Structure 1
Amino acid sequence: MGPRTITSTPVELTPLGFGASGIGNLHRVTPPGDAEAAVGAAWAAGIRYFDTAPHYGLGLSERRLGAALRDRPRDAYVVSSKAGRLLVPNEQPRGVDDEGFIVRDDLRRQWDFSHDGVLRSIEESLERTGLDRLDVVYLHDPDDQWRQAAGEAMPALAELRDQGVIGAIGAGMNQSAMLARFLRETAADVVMLAGRYTLLDQSALDDVLPAALESGKSVVAAGVFNSGLLSRDVPAAGMTYDYRQAPQPLVARALAIADVCATHGTVLPAAAMAFPRTHPSIINVTLGMRTQEQVERNVRLHHQHVPESLWDDLRARGLIRRDVPTQSGQGRGSQCP
C-alpha cells in the first residue's frame, strides 16, 4: 500500500508515520544519538511522515527531528506539528517538567488558540525545527477550548493553507466526539485520532469516522497500542492502557484477542497496527518511536501479513464491534511503509 493523499490537499502520507514524542524524552531520557538513529532508521525503511509538537519535551522533539531531517531532500518528506500550547519562560521552575517529559522546566506551556497565538506557535516551531515549512498543522488537544479553537485558531490555519504556507490543517485529540465537530463544522482537512479506534476501543465509529466519510475528509490514527497494552504479543498485568494501569477485564480481553491472532498466524501488535487501516477514512497509522530498534520492530510488524479473516473471527467472538468495516486490502501487510 503506497502513500495516500489527505483529501483535497497536496499532502501525501506514507501508511506508517513516525511519532516523535519519544525523542522528546517522553517518560524517560532518549540519548541524542538514539534519537538521530531512530529517524535515520525510519528514513531507511521508507517512512516519510514525521509528527511532532511543541508540547513534546518543551520543544526538544521539534529540535531533534528538525536536526535529523535537515540534510534530507525537503520535498521528499512530510512534517506535521501542532498549535495551541505556546512555550513561554517558566518563572517558577522546579527542575524537571511535570507533564511526562524528562527535560528541564525552564519553559512552561501556555494554552493559546487565538489567531495570533497560532501564528506565533507556527513561527516558533519553524525556528526550533529549522525547516522552511510545516506540511500539516494540527490544533493540539483543544478539549476545553472549542469556541476559540474553532472560531479563531482554525480560521487562522485556513488562511495559511489557502495561501499555500501549509499543506493541510486539522486537529489532534484523545477523544473522538470533538474531532467529529472539527470535520463537520470547520475547515479542517484531517484529524489525528489517538486511541479511539483500536482493537480495544472502537468508539470512533459513533462519531468521527462517520463524519470523515460524510465530509470526505481524512483521519490519521495514533495511539493504536492504547499506550502499551496492545504492544506485546502476550499482554500482562501491570501494562498500561491510556497511560494508566490497565484494568484486569481489559487485560483479559487483550489476551483473548492475542489468542485469536495466533490462530490466524499473526501477533497482537501487528493486528493492532493493521486494524485502523480497515476503515476507508484512515490513511495513516503513526507510532511513537525513540530508537532504531523500535523503528525496525514496528516496520517488521507493519509488513506482517494480517488476514482479513481475523476481523471476521473477532467480530463473531464479540471481541470487536460488529459494525467494524472491512476494506479489502487494508488489513493486509504492506510492501512499503
Structure 2
Amino acid sequence: MITPLGLGCAQLGNLYRAMSDDTAAAIVDTAWARGIRYFDTAPHYGLGLSERRLGAALAARPRDDYVLSTKVGRLLVDNPGGESRRDTEGFDVPATLTRRRDYTRDGVLRSLESSLTRLGVDRVDIAFVHDAENHVDEALRGALPALVELRDQGVLRGIGLGMNFNDVLSHFVRNADVDTVMIAGRYTLLEQPALDDLLPLCAERGVSVVAAGVFNSGILASPTPGRTYNYSDAPRDLLDRATRIAEVCARHHITLPEAAIALPGAHPAVTSVVLGASSPKQVESNADRAAVGVPTQLWRDLVAEGLLRADTPVPEEVG
C-alpha cells in the first residue's frame, strides 16, 4: 500500500531552518493533493516536532487511507535548562528535550507509545529501528524482537531498519525477520553500493526497500560549490562527477533531479522513493519531476561514460 513516492518529514521538524506550523501543514496538504499516501517521520526530527506537525496535518484524513512510518532507537527525555539553548543535531528547535539512544525492548515500547501520543493516532503502520549501525547487537537482542512481537500481535504491519549503511542493513536482513528497510544515500544516481549486496538480498528474501536521500543530501539537486554530500561539504571529485552526470542529462533535456528521482525506483526491490520538502512548492516540484519519463538512451550514455554501473536496473524504456 506504500505509494511509489513518499513524503519524508524531517523538514517538518525544522531541519536546518525553522518553518511555521502553517507551512508544515501546507506541505502535507500538497503532498496529499498530489497523490502521496506514504509519510515517514521520527522522534529524532526536531525533538518530536515533526511527529506533532505531521499528526496534526493528517488528523482529518481517514486513518486507513495512508501509510505512516516512524522510528525507534532514540528516546526523547527532558533536558533541564535546555529551553535557553538550541538543538545541536541540525534542527532549529529549543533543546528542551534530549535524545538518548535506547535499543532495548522497554525503550522501543516507550518510544512507540510517545510517538503515538505526538502523532495523535492509535497506530503506525511501519516501525524502523533508526541508525543502529553502532548498536547492532543491542538491536538484534532488544529492539527487533520487540517489534516482531508487536507485528505478530497486529499492532504493526511492518518492521525494519533505516540507516545510511548498506552493509550493516545487509547484516540485519540476514539475521532478523524484517519486512522492509530504508536505505539513505547509498542507492542514488551518484553511487550504487547497495547493488553489491543489500538490494539483491532484499529481492531474494522479499524485503521491500524504501530509497531515501536520493539527492545525496544536496549534491544531486544542484552540483554547485557549497552543496552537501552526506550532510557535509561535497568533495571536489564528487562535485565533478555530479556535474558530468548533469551534462549528460541536459543533452537529453532532462534535469539532474528528474533523473535522480527516477533511477532508484526502477530496482525491483524498491517500493517507494521518499523525498523531503521545505515548502509546498518543493512538493509540487518533486511530484512533477517524479512524473517525467527519462529517455532510455540517457542511462546508456551514463553507463558508456563510466558514470553509472552497467548492472543498475533502469526505468522502462522511454523515447
TM superposition score normalised by structure 1: 0.92
Q: In the aligned structure 1, how far is the partner of 2:215 from the partner of 2:62?
A: 31
1:308 shift after superposition: 2.4
Q: Does 199-208 or 82-91 show the bigger shift?
A: 199-208
Amino acid at match of 1:51: D
Q: Does 282-291 or 59-68 show the bigger shift?
A: 282-291
Partner residue in 2 for 1:84: 73
- Alpha-carbon RMSD across the aligned residues, in angstroms, is 1.3
In structure 2, which of residues 13, 26, 30 is the aligned counterpart of residue 41 of structure 1?
30
Q: Could you tell me which runs of 5 or more consecutive residues in structure 1 were left unpaired when the two chains were aligned.
A: 1-11
Moved beyond 2 Å, runs of 4+: 91-94, 325-329
Q: Does 268-277 or 84-93 show the bigger shift?
A: 84-93
Amino acid at match of 1:173: M
Q: Does 288-297 or 303-312 show the bigger shift?
A: 303-312
SS in 1 for 2:308: coil
Partner residue in 2 for 1:213: 203
SS in 1 for 2:86: coil
Q: Could you tell me which runs of 5 or more consecutive residues in structure 2 were left unpaired when the two chains were aligned.
A: none
In 2, are the aligned partners of 1:20 and 1:290 still within 8 Å (CA)? no
2:51 is the counterpart of 1:59: no
In 2, are the aligned partners of 1:138 and 1:172 still within 8 Å (CA)? yes
1:291 shift after superposition: 1.3
1:236 shift after superposition: 1.1
User: After the TM superposition, which residues 132-281 of structure 1 pair with which residues of structure 2 at under 5 Å, given as runs?
Assistant: 132-232=122-222, 235-281=223-269
SS in 2 for 1:137: strand
Partner residue in 2 for 1:3: none
2:294 is the counterpart of 1:285: no
SS in 1 for 2:263: helix
1:84-105 deviation digits (Å, cap 9, x = unpaired): 0000011352510010000011
1:325 shift after superposition: 2.4
1:141-179 deviation digits (Å, cap 9, x = unpaired): 001110010121111101111111111000000111111
Q: In the aligned structure 2, how far is the partner of 1:326 from the partner of 1:222?
A: 17
1:169-223 deviation digits (Å, cap 9, x = unpaired): 0000011111111212101100000000011111111221121122121100000
Amino acid at match of 1:81: T
In 2, are the aligned partners of 1:17 and 1:49 still within 8 Å (CA)? yes
Query: Percentage identity across aligned positions?
Result: 54
1:328 shift after superposition: 3.2
For these two proteins, the number of residue pairs brought into alignment is 318
1:26 shift after superposition: 0.4
SS in 2 for 1:164: coil
1:255 shift after superposition: 1.0
